[in-house]
A and B are shown apart, each in its own frame.
Chain A
């Protein structure tokens, strides 16, 4: 915890974030490119779904980051509520659009995958519906956060909403276990993917995650810079 609190100092945060951003970003891009190439060329097709199963190398990391993004956002909101540190709300603001993008990518790749395998673009089953809801909740959080900032609120309302929204995470995750759904059950954590098809997924999972972290750091730096500009303009106007 003391280490985290030390990082909460914006100047110290920027000193670390500045060199870290391109490292995370480019290693992430490289891993994703290699993982996708390997998933398209080095692995055998799935016995049942044939070539269409290869989309899992994008679909699974998107789902992971769509949900992981909200976990990060909720943790940032929670620490903002507890310690009132402005950097926590900057982090939440930086994560939201990135998480929403991956949630959308998850829905999109899932839809493209569902057409040839299930025979439908979309069905209102528990997993698909709860994931769509998570995407809408991201959009709602972004709208609420902007409205709060515009009315110069203290950020407590979006922070509360960010914590409350985590109610969706167990629903998305357990929907395929506790409910009967069209979507199949857990594959990755239960080890149901043969290693010869599985290994490129580790590259795309790690790659997209680093890429995500890089984008979030980039956005946090941009938000901090724009806050600085605003403060300077205000001082100049006052002088």
Chain B
């Protein structure tokens, strides 16, 4: 075997080992790398009460209640398996609405609810024109 071929085999083995190691590290870090808790993650488990955490999922349809003061809202986060009621006071992003994704930052309460001090909207990976989505949003483009 020529030295060149030996280096080729060694380098490819090393590359495979590096990529394999990063895949293993990723699956091992799955819980630590998670950006948010889903409602099912905390169901039936001790709540992380003392820490500032994020709760993510979908805003349950028909669950948003706006208080009379105009800035306080309550809604329910669901992931299809469990739900968590959330209370928040402040301005929500435009994309925050029922049936779409949300990430709430705040603290769990002893009663299992969640008090948020910040709301992020999480949108999905689909992009389509308003007609295809079936809503009657005006379809003008920037040109017109």
Where the two chains meet, the residues of A that have a C-beta atom closer than 8 Å to any C-beta of B are 40-51, 53-54, 56, 74, 78, 81-83, 116-120, 123-126, 163-164, 166-171, 174-175, 178-182, 184-187, 190, 192-194, 196-198
Contact = CB atoms under 8 A, between A and B. Distances in A.
A119 B90 CA distance: 12
B18 A47 contact: no
Q: On chain B, which size bracket covers the interface?
A: 35 or more
A49 B127 CA distance: 8
Given A167-B19, A180-B35, A196 B11 contact: no
B33 A126 contact: yes
A179 B34 contact: yes
Contact of B4 (A54, A83, A167, A192): A83
Contact of B128 (A50, A116, A197): A197
B71 interface: no
Interface of B: 4, 7-8, 11-12, 14-15, 18-19, 21-23, 25-27, 29-30, 33-36, 38, 56, 92-96, 100, 103, 118-133, 135, 137, 139, 141-143
Given A44-B139, A44-B141, A178-B30, A185 B120 contact: no
A123 B127 CA distance: 22
A171 B8 contact: no
B30 A118 contact: no
B143 A40 contact: yes
Contacts of A181: 35
A169 B135 CA distance: 38
B29 to A, nearest CB: 8
Contacts of B100: 48
A137 B143 CA distance: 40
Contacts of B129: 43-47, 194, 196-197
Given A45-B130, A116-B93, 6 more contacts: A119-B95, A126-B33, A126-B35, A167-B18, A178-B30, A180-B56
A42 B141 contact: yes
A182 B103 contact: yes
Nearest to B139: A44
A110 to B, nearest CB: 13
A126 B143 CA distance: 36
A41 B123 CA distance: 24
Nearest to B17: A167
Which are the 4 A-B pairs with shortest beta-carbon distances? A119-B93, A47-B133, A44-B129, A41-B143
A190 B125 contact: yes
Contacts of A78: 11-12, 15
Contacts of A164: 18
Nearest to A43: B141
Contacts of B92: 119
B122 to A, nearest CB: 6
B1 to A, nearest CB: 13
Given A167-B18, A170-B26, A192 B125 contact: yes
A170 B95 contact: no
Nearest to B132: A194
A186 B125 contact: yes
Contacts of B95: 48-49, 117-119
Contacts of B124: 184-185, 192
Contact of A171 (B26, B93, B137, B142): B26
A117 B123 contact: yes
A87 to B, nearest CB: 16
Contacts of B56: 180, 182
A196 B118 CA distance: 35
